Amino acid sequence: MNFVHLGAGAGDLDQRANFRCGFTEFIKKNSKVKDKIYLVEANFKNIAKLKKSYYNFKNARIINMAITDRAEIHKIKMFYTEDDAPHYQTCSCDKEHVLKHYPNSFIKSFDVHATTINNLFTMNNIREVDFLSIDLEGIDYEILMSLELDKFNVKNISIEFLHLTKRQKRNIVNHLLNFGYTYCGFGYDHNNFDFLFRKKKILLNVFLSKFLWIVGKKHLKYFNKVIFKD
C-alpha cells in the first residue's frame, strides 16, 4: 500500500498537539514493512522531528518540499510566525492565512522548492495511492482540485475542511462524485477536522453528500451518524 501525507508537520511529536497526529497514528497502526510512506513537509524546521517520529519506519520517505497547484512554480515563499513555534502549525504559502490566526504577530518567511501533487506522484512513480491526507494550511482546496484523478488511482482522500468555504465544499463534493467517490464521514485527523472520501459508490451517502456544504462544524457529527462508513 501507499500512504501519502501532504503537510506532515512534526508527525506525532508536536507538544502543542498533545503529541498526536491522526494520520501519523493511522499510518503507524496500519502500514506494513512492504508498504511505502511518503511524508511531505515544506517547513525545514519540522524535518528533524519528523525523522524522529518515523525513526522505526525505514519505508518512510521524508520530502522537504512545498505543494502548489501551479506547475510553473518551482520555488515558493512560505510564511510563519515565531508565535506559532515550535512546529508552526499555520505555516503557509498564503500570508493571509497566517495573519488570520496571528493578526498582531511579526510574519517571517523562507523559500523552499515546490512541485504539484501530480508531479510529486510522477517523480516517485506513484500510480496508486491507498490513503492520501491533505493538510496544507489554506490551499487544501486548490491542491485537491488540481489532482489528476483520471491519471492516478487514489482510493481514500482525507482533507481538512476548516478553511473551506461553502462554495468550495460543494465544488469538492460534486467534483469527487464525478470521479466515483463517496463521502464517508470524518477523515483521519484526530480532532475530526477532515472529510473522508472513498472511491466507491454508496447511494445513500451520494444523496446525503449533496447537503454536506450547508452542514456546520457543530452539526457534522450528527450528520455523519447516518452516513455509511464502509
User: Does residue 155 surpass a pLDDT of 80?
Assistant: yes
pLDDT tens sequence across 95-112: 999 999 999 999 999 999
Phi and psi dihedrals of 208, rounded to 5? -65, -35
Q: Helix, strand, or coil here: 229?
A: coil
- Tell me the pLDDT of the chain averaged across its residues: 96
Whether the predicted pLDDT of 230 surpasses 80? no
* Other residues' Cβ atoms within 10 Å of the Cβ of residue 125: 7
Q: Rounded distance, CA 62 to CA 143, Å?
A: 19
Q: What is the mean pLDDT of residues 155-161?
A: 98
Instruction: Give every CB contact of residue 170 below 8 A, 6+ residues apart in sequence.
Output: 212, 213
Classify strands 182-186 and 156-160 as parallel, antiparallel or unpaired. unpaired
Dihedral angle, C-alpha 75, 15, 221, 201, nearest 10 ° = 50
Name all domains of the chain by residue range, CATH numbers in brackets.
2-71+116-224 (3.40.50.150)
Per-residue pLDDT, averaged over 51-58, amounts to: 97
pTM beyond 0.85: the answer is: yes
